[in-house]
Amino acid sequence: MTMTNDQLTAYMADMVNRARIAQKKFELAHLEEKDQHAVDAVCRAVGMACMAEGAKIAAAAVAETGMGDIESKIAKMFGVALMTWNTIKGKKSIGVIDDGASYPGVQIVAKPLGVIGACMPSTNPTATIIHNSMCALKCRNAIIVAPHPASAKISFEFVEMIRATLKSVGAPEDLVQCISQEASSLEATNMMLHMCDFNVGTGGPAMVKAVYSAGKPAYGVGQGNAQSIVDEDAPDMGYICGNIVGNRSMDQGVPCTGEQMIHIPADKE
């Protein structure tokens, strides 16, 4: 059933309000530097749950979008969860994170941004959610996912799994939310971008432009321009070419991180 504009506005306002309440509750429960381990434990739990459900989620993503392949998406689920965890674990995100070492006389204190709006691509409808959610939670933020219309079903189901994980570890479920299939639309996404405190977007030029045009601080990532530069002293061209072809063909070439141009020394051609 299609929502009226008034119904959609009320739906989005309620979602953002619940996110604000959850974020403030999470922040106030972890104000001290000694609470860092507890915050990290929440991030780790989310990552572990995503890995545990990787095969089922990957199959559902391929079935809904018709893009990529199951094996590659499983690998991405595992890789992104592990990469994100290994990057953020043990790093300070509470209290004083720099007491003047980097900038003499300037003390840097970590503070949550609030509620983050996150636009998802159909090409990576679950792996992007893992990374964005873990990063948001690490810094005691809440996050609302705006799914791509082509992957709204699996994105919503995946977020519901994350919410169940949050509940199981005693964290507020509303720290991570997803716009439902019924509400998912360009209008809902635009409302989210204007209501949230900070926005991130992964996708095509039009979507990234919308993220940057909402009047809020934002990070946008477009379609990519990944290039490989082969060193003139490279000893094994076969090995290098195999890696490039493997990376470009992963998930049937869907990821924007796949090479789109290769620079090879003339004497290696």
Rounded to 5°, angle at Cα 261 from 255 and 262: 120
82, pLDDT greater than 80: yes
pTM: 0.92
Full set of structural domains in the chain with CATH: 5-223 (3.40.605.10), 228-268 (no CATH)
Q: What angle do helix axes 186-195 and 205-212 make, rounded to 10 degrees?
A: 30
Q: What are the strands, taking DSSP E only, across 66-169?
A: 95-98, 108-110, 115-119, 142-146
Specify the length of the chain in residues.
269
DSSP per-residue letters across 156-223: HHHHHHHHHHHHHTT--GGGEEE--TTT-SHHHHHHHHHHSSEEEEES-HHHHHHHHTSSS-EEEE-S
pLDDT in tens, 175-213: 999 999 999 999 999 999 999 999 999 888 888 899 999
Question: Per-residue b/e over 105-129, b at no fewer than 16 CB within 10 Å?
Answer: eeeeebebbbbbbbbbbbbbbbbbb
Q: What percent of the chain lies above the pLDDT cut of 70?
A: 99
Active-site pick, 50, 139, 178, 256: 256
pLDDT of residue 46: 97
Active site residue 139: no
pLDDT range class, residue 1, cuts 50, 70, 90: low
